[in-house]
Amino acid sequence: MLRRFFAFYWPYRGLFVLDFACAVLSGLLELGFPMAVKAFVDDLLPSGQWGLIVGASAALLAIYILNTALMATVTYWGHMLGINIETDMRRLAFSHIQKLSFRYFDNEKTGHLVGRLTKDLEEIGEVAHHGPEDLFIAIMTFVGALLLMLSINVELALLTAAIVPLTAWGTSRYGARMTDNFRSLFGRVGDFNTRIEENVGGIRVVQAFANEEHERTLFEKDNQNYRRTKLAAYRIMAASTSMSYMSMRLIQMVVMITGAYFVLSGSLSNGGFVSFLLLVGVFFRPVEKINSVIETYPKGIAGFRRFVELIDTEPDIADAPDAIEAPQFRGDIAFRSVGFGYIPEKPVLRGIDLDIKAGETIAFVGPSGAGKTTLCSLLPRFYDVNAGAITIDGHDIRSLTLASLRSQIGIVQQDVFLFGGSVRENIAYGRLGASDAEIMDAARRAKLDGVIAAMPQGLDTVIGERGVKLSGGQKQRLAIARMFLKNPPILILDEATSALDTETERAIQQSLGELSEGRTTLVIAHRLATIRDASRIVVVDASGIAEIGTHAELLRAGRGYARLYEAQFGQLGAAE
Ligand code: ADP
Ligand code: MG
């Protein structure tokens, strides 16, 4: 753990060494000051020479100024180190999240991930800049002060040294408890973030159901949980801070009385007495430091644990070590005895055998929950099959790199996910770096050009978070434009028009028809009217593939598809 932490220091070792040097120098000056005071009281004062006294004071002032500058430098460089390390970790965490597979996100809450990348890392940064150099200085001043105290008066020094461990033990006892506490505090922050995320994202649903009161109650529960956890942490902190304050005063009193006795009995000089009292402060500071260490280190350690946990999460879908770049696909797809379940004990697909020829449009129909979406999501390897294999042009898809596989498969779904930026950015997501001419061409083919022309800023129009400023049909057209730009040889249309009204659906169906030309297309359809022209239709039900054939063949067969069609066609006829 520690080694992994320090690995992040390595790129900044130069900065670290400089920072360290300044810190050491500052620590030495800190130790020198009480000794200077001793000389001042014992040697300079009795001489009564004002010139020397003023001169010495000026010299002390100069040392103070130097020390101030050193401390400022240490603070700045230390923080620079901290923020650099924090930035590196955040970059690493973010790029790791990008690699994690669907299964991970099925089970992880957004808010917790946001927390890991923000709050957790901030706490680690906090440790990184109050890091090892602070600890080193603490030890150095501790030992240094002890040696100096011994040189002034051995008995008094031993007495002081005997009491301090007692208080150190008292304060460090809290350390472990604090770590646990902060760990659960981070969990609370994650709960919080998740709830806020969901509520802001789903505010339209909340308000439409008038469930604000309900959401407030749920939120307040998280809010109170957070409050309780934090209060518990502060209770421990308050106890340990006040304990160390009290210990410090007690030690000072003991030194004062005992020191007074030694001065009166002649074994301690006045200067030694003053200097000793100052040294007790220097000696005790590292012990007090344990308190701030107790506060920041557990937070940082908890944060670092969570960070390591994240970057150690192996993506369950990744390039095989010997994966090859997929060649340009023709688009022959084969499912060979494919079995799959989100949890292996509960298979969704069993023994699926299916050959799809390049350029073919193949439709999947069947009851909701039968596994049509699941079947299609195996193709880009959002999930890996549990049994059997899927090949494209004869290549097992697991032998290809994910990037080369996925870049050749386009998916248009019912829910189009749009980003908050402009129309241009959202279309260009299909192929980053596409020129405006290419973007407009794709828009024209998706029949989105009219919409764009009517927009206040054309391509630069910002479409709101997740595209809230667009209608369902417009979002779908945007998704199609994206696909024209991406131009993949394999296309999956998963209920792409199911959410639209019949008229819009018919219009968009035409664009989808053009999009699927010359591509192997897998269409999942809800309304059978939209797939009559498919090369073949696959009827999927709970037991797997029930029927395969053309529309006419399946009607003639008079089984499930025929019944389904009859039912829908009857309904359609009544509606129109
Ligand atoms: P269809 O698209 O045919 O309506 P799906 O493929 O979406 O059906 O779902 C098939 C089954 O798998 C359903 O029982 C569904 O509850 C389950 N399922 C779908 N997605 C997930 C997921 N991410 N995790 C666990 N189970 C899932
Ligand atoms: Mg589905």
Q: Interface pTM (ipTM) of the complex? A: 0.98
How far does the centroid of ligand 1 lie from the alpha carbon of residue 568, in Å?
Answer: 23
378 lines ligand 1 (CB under 6 A): no
Residue nearest ligand 1's atom 21 by CA: 342
Identify whether residues 236 and 145 lie together within a single domain. yes
- Say how far apart CA 424 and CA 421 lie, in whole Å: 8
Backbone angles phi, psi at 366, to 5 degrees: 150, 170
Q: Is residue 317 part of a domain?
A: no
CATH number at residue 453: 3.40.50.300
Number of CB atoms found within 10 A of residue 94's CB: 11
Produce one character per residue of 438-448: b if its CB has 16 or more CB atoms within 10 Å, e if not.
bbbbbbebbbb
Residue nearest ligand 1's atom 18 by CA: 342
Q: Which of 285, 311, 337 is the last residue of a domain?
A: 311
Q: Is residue 316 part of a domain?
A: no
Identify whether residues 176 and 106 lie together within a single domain. yes
Ligand 1 pocket check: which of 101, 349, 365, 373 to mutate, most ligand atoms within 8 Å of Cβ? 373
265 lines ligand 1 (CB under 6 A): no
348 lines ligand 1 (CB under 6 A): yes
State the pTM of this model.
Answer: 0.79
What pLDDT, on a 0 to 100 scale, did the predictor assign at position 573?
39
What pLDDT, on a 0 to 100 scale, did the predictor assign at position 572?
44
Identify whether residues 162 and 265 lie together within a single domain. yes
Reported in sequence order, the residue ranges of 31-81 that DSSP labels E, i.e. its strands, are: none
Alpha helix (H) ranges present in 130-202? 132-152, 154-201
CA of 374, closest atom in ligand 1: 6
Q: Is residue 230 part of a domain?
A: yes
CATH number at residue 276: 1.20.1560.10
- Say how far apart CA 395 and CA 332 lie, in whole Å: 10
Number of H helices and number of E strands within the chain? Answer: 21, 10
Identify whether residues 192 and 298 lie together within a single domain. yes
Identify whether residues 362 and 475 lie together within a single domain. no
Residue nearest ligand 1's atom 16 by CA: 369
What pLDDT, on a 0 to 100 scale, did the predictor assign at position 574?
38
What pLDDT, on a 0 to 100 scale, did the predictor assign at position 171?
65
How far does the centroid of ligand 2 lie from the alpha carbon of residue 372, in Å?
Answer: 6
What pLDDT, on a 0 to 100 scale, did the predictor assign at position 575?
36
Number of domains in the chain: 3
Which ligand does the CA of 105 lie closest to? 1
Per the listing, tokens 């002060």 go with: 145
Q: Is residue 319 part of a domain?
A: no
Looking at residue 354, the DSSP 8-state letter turns out to be E
For residue 395, the surrounding DSSP H or E stretch is strand 395-396
Contact between 278 and 234 (Cβ < 8 Å):
no
Identify whether residues 481 and 513 lie together within a single domain. no
What pLDDT, on a 0 to 100 scale, did the predictor assign at position 387?
94
What pLDDT, on a 0 to 100 scale, did the predictor assign at position 325?
95
Half-sphere CA count of 151, side-chain side, radius 13 A? 11
Q: Is residue 285 part of a domain?
A: yes
Identify whether residues 495 and 483 lie together within a single domain. no
Identify whether residues 53 and 14 lie together within a single domain. yes
Ligand 1 pocket check: which of 104, 107, 374 to mutate, most ligand atoms within 8 Å of Cβ? 374
Identify whether residues 53 and 174 lie together within a single domain. yes
Residue nearest ligand 1's atom 27 by CA: 342
How far does the centroid of ligand 2 lie from the alpha carbon of residue 375, in Å?
Answer: 9
Number of CB atoms found within 10 A of residue 325's CB: 9
CA of 370, closest atom in ligand 1: 3
What pLDDT, on a 0 to 100 scale, did the predictor assign at position 176?
64
368 lines ligand 1 (CB under 6 A): yes
106 lines ligand 1 (CB under 6 A): yes
Which ligand does the CA of 106 lie closest to? 1
Identify whether residues 292 and 351 lie together within a single domain. no
Q: Which of 311, 340, 356 is the last residue of a domain?
A: 311
Q: Is residue 214 part of a domain?
A: yes
Identify whether residues 81 and 33 lie together within a single domain. yes
Number of CB atoms found within 10 A of residue 490's CB: 23
Q: Is residue 480 part of a domain?
A: yes
Q: Give the structural domain span for 33.
A: 2-311
Q: Which of 263, 287, 311 is the last residue of a domain?
A: 311
Per the listing, tokens 């005790």 go with: 284
Identify whether residues 131 and 278 lie together within a single domain. yes
What pLDDT, on a 0 to 100 scale, did the predictor assign at position 335?
96
For residue 540, the surrounding DSSP H or E stretch is strand 536-541
CA of 102, closest atom in ligand 1: 23
One digit per residue, the tens of pLDDT, for the chain of length 576 reads 788 988 998 999 998 898 889 988 988 998 888 888 888 888 888 888 888 889 888 988 998 899 999 989 888 888 888 889 999 999 999 999 999 999 999 888 877 888 888 888 888 888 877 677 777 788 888 899 999 999 999 999 998 888 777 666 666 666 667 767 777 777 788 788 888 888 888 887 888 888 889 999 999 998 998 899 888 888 887 887 787 788 788 888 889 999 999 999 998 999 999 999 999 888 887 776 766 666 677 788 888 888 999 999 999 899 999 999 999 999 999 999 999 999 988 899 999 999 999 999 999 998 889 999 999 999 999 999 999 999 999 999 999 999 999 999 999 988 888 888 899 999 999 999 999 999 999 999 988 988 899 988 999 998 877 787 888 888 989 999 999 999 999 999 998 888 888 888 888 888 888 899 999 999 998 888 788 888 899 999 888 899 999 998 988 888 888 888 888 876 443 333
Q: Is residue 166 part of a domain?
A: yes
CA distances 180 to 125, 172, 183, 229, 235, Å, are 19, 14, 5, 10, 14
